[in-house]
Structure 1
Amino acid sequence: MTVQNTSLSGQPTATATIGIIGAMDEEIHQLTADLLDGQTFQHQGSTFHQGRLFGQQVLITKCGIGKVNAAMTTQALLSLGIQKIIFTGVAGGVTPGLQVGDIVISTDLIQHDVDVTPLGYQLGLIPDEQFSWNADEQLQALALESAQQIEGIHAVKGRIASGDQFIASKDRVRWMHDTFQVAAAEMEGAAVAQVASKWGVPFVVIRSLSDTADGEANVDYRSFMPLVAIRAKSVVRGMLQRM
């Protein structure tokens, strides 16, 4: 299972079936460091790391921050033949009671910053698209089972909201929870979900909470990023070992 650099189209192709995406280097370096027989290549503007990880052949990539970057990278990943997508990284907690270090596993994802209400559309709905994109139930179950086996980790399933905004306001968090009933807020997952759904490829988004998105996010995020990256890696490891 290798990446071939001499396909008929002149583009690399992959026989690995599992793609793993993170928005930042800190969110994937724990995984790329453990790759066996690792190779790196460029494709459609993204850097891909291929190899064996915890018994599975995977492609790992960083998409960058924001929905456009996430959508472009997901499209590139899917064009290589990936059949399952795991997005791993950090998020801000929205549901009251969630704590830094908790893990939220996506049931579905929405885009909270979409507003076409002047034309009569529901808040958050992109015209001619569905309101939310459902994560694969089997991948959800694998992620939850893996998280629950890790000592000291509290994991929940819930809706995740994405937008091109870093949420650091108590009022905005309260509005987001009341309006969309979301558990966590971040900046990429719904774009990954939208593209993967169009391809018919199962996906799940796993977010470890680096802050509570309540006005202290600028402090908590920097302090807890290394810890939550390690916890997210532990969940991905458990999933791959169970596949």
Structure 2
Amino acid sequence: MSRILILAALPEEADALFPGEGVRTADGFAIRRLAVRGHALAVATCGLGKVHAALAAGLFGGDADLLLMSGTCGALDAEAGRAYWLAEAVQHDYGTVRPDRFDRYRAGEWPAGEVGEAHFAAMPDPGLGLPHARIASGDSFIACPDVAAGLVRGLGATLVDMEVGAVAQVAARLGKPWAAVKAVTDTADEGSSRDFHANLVRAARAAAMEVERLIAML
């Protein structure tokens, strides 16, 4: 039986996964454990931001065969309301501040010298049929079209969130595969906070349904 850790930042995102199933425990984080199609699943509500996500991934991912994230995100250059397979993740706030620019490096590596590729690659898509995206993660909620446009230009990112890049870094450190599916709540502009709250439950379930399909394929 394979062991899969599924992380979700918010209770609404975690509860949208296999709703009503499993046994709830508390190990510093709210966790729901269940068995689905020969997989032992632990659904952990990790909290917002890179530190929470990395802490939960590190604490509970050591004996997992796969680290998986489900939830919501903002659109930088992507279609509102869609769920996406996150093929690549990058931390947009990791790098070196210079007088005339901000150079980004792969999180965890020494931020100096020639700038190279900063992203982490997810496991191969097993055939969900979702559009692929690169997500930019950082400890700030993006509600500014100018900043959003800069992330598109500088990183080639199409989505933005606050956690996936950290989970990808932990997975790389642990030598484990990772995957993520997120659905769009907002368009990273002045109305994003309002749109996020209005669309949270719908988007969380949209992502969760695709994660449930993914589990059935593994």
- So what's the TM-score if we normalise by structure 2? 0.88
Q: 1:113 aligns with which of 93, 114, 132?
A: 93
Instruction: Decide whether aligned partners of structure 1 residues 70 and 201 sit closer, same or farther in structure 2, where only a CA change above 3 A counts.
Output: same
Instruction: Report the counterpart of residue 174 of structure 2 in structure 1.
Output: 199
SS in 2 for 1:205: strand
Q: What does residue 22 of structure 1 align with?
A: 8
- Cα distance per residue 1:184-220 (max 9 Å; x no partner): 0000001000001111111112110001112221221
Mapped to 1, the partners of 2:192 and 2:26 lie a distance apart of 34
Aligned identity (percent) is 24
SS where residue 104 of structure 2 aligns?
coil
Find the counterpart in structure 2 of residue 174 from structure 1: 149
- Which residue in 2 is equivalent to 1:52? 35
Alignment of 1:130-169 (within 5 A): 131-137=118-124, 141-142=125-126, 145-146=127-128, 148=129, 155-169=130-144
In structure 1, what residue type is equivalent to 2:6?
I
Q: Distance in 1 between matches of 2:46 and 2:153?
A: 30
- Asked if the contact 2:17/2:209 (under 8 Å) is kept, the reply is no
Segments of 5+ residues of structure 2 without an aligned counterpart are 112-116
Q: CA deviation at 1:124?
A: 2.2
The answer as to whether partners of 2:17 and 2:205 remain within 8 angstroms in 1 is no
Is the partner of 1:136 in helix, strand or coil?
coil
Q: Residue in 1 aligned with 2:65?
A: 83
Determine if contact 1:55/1:241 at 8 Å carries over to the other structure: no
- Residues 134-188 of structure 1, C-alpha deviations (whole Å, 9 max, x = no match): 1111xxx23xx33x4xxxxxx3212110000000111011111001000100000
- Computed over aligned residues only, the root mean square deviation of the Cα atoms, in angstroms, reads 2.2
Structure of larger gyration radius: 1
Per the TM alignment, residue 222 of structure 1 is displaced from its structure 2 partner at its CA by 1.5
Which of 6, 19, 27 is the matching residue for 1:33? 19
Residue of structure 2 in register with 1:42 after alignment: 26
| SS of 1:116 mapped into structure 2 | strand
Closer, same or farther: CA 227–33 of 1 in aligned 2, 3 Å? same
Task: Give the structure with the larger helix fraction.
Answer: 1
Return the TM-score normalized by structure 1: 0.79
Q: Give ranges in structure 1 of 5+ residues lacking alignment.
A: 1-14, 149-154
Q: For residue 190 of structure 2, what is the aligned residue in structure 1?
A: 215
The reply to whether residue 228 of structure 1 matches residue 203 of structure 2 is yes
Q: How many residues matched?
A: 211
Counterpart Cα distance in 1 of 2:81 and 2:207: 9
**Residues 16, 59 of structure 1: 8 Å contact kept:** no
